[in-house]
Amino acid sequence: MSDNVKIGIIICDRYHTCAGGKCLRALRNREGAFSIYKDREVELVGYTTCDGCPGGNIEYAPEEMKKNGAEVIHLATGLVVGYPPCPYIAYFRDFIQTNYGIGVVIGTHPIPQKYFDVHKKLKTWEPSEWKEILRPTLADKKTRLEYN
């Protein structure tokens, strides 16, 4: 793999007006799920929504991103921290990897503390499959507070 990587980001449609500030900040600072690129140059080649439940854009957007050189697609942290979290996130990951042969990372920016606290109270993330899903974006408390 080269020193440069091209990525795409797909966000949850309920946040369709999001300007991407936390994702772009995390990308610039190599925080959250973007920490895997700490020693690499990254080019963002696509940014879009899933198009709403059940994620119709997942069928088409990765193809465009791949044509633009995307090697990895990040499913944004909003898909994890929303109320409720996206019930299709594992399916999205598996579909993109299988259909397009592109790597998928679940997460972008670190989970903000306010979302962490609520989901902990709700026990949303207690099922074992969430441990893997949360890993890339579950930063320390200080970082989570910086993303509130």
Going by their DSSP bridges, the two strands 41-49 and 4-11 should be labelled as parallel
30-57 per-position pLDDT tens digit? 999 999 999 999 999 999 999 999 999 9
> Quick check: 2 pLDDT over 70?
no
The range of the structural domain enclosing residue 82 comes to: 4-146
Asked if 119 and 126 count as a contact pair (C-beta separation under 8 A), the reply is no
> Quick check: 102 pLDDT over 60?
yes
pLDDT greater at residue 2 or residue 19: 19
Q: What is the CATH number of the domain that holds 18?
A: 3.40.50
Instruction: Give the model's pLDDT for residue 1.
Output: 46
Instruction: Report the 3 state secondary structure along 71-96.
Output: CEEEECCHHHHCCCCCCCHHHHHHHH
Counted domains in the chain: 1
Give the residue-averaged pLDDT of 61-78. 97
Tokens of 75: 């499913």
pTM, rounded to two decimals: 0.94
Contacts of 107 (CB under 8 A, 6+ apart): 32, 33, 74, 75, 76, 77, 80, 133, 134, 136, 137
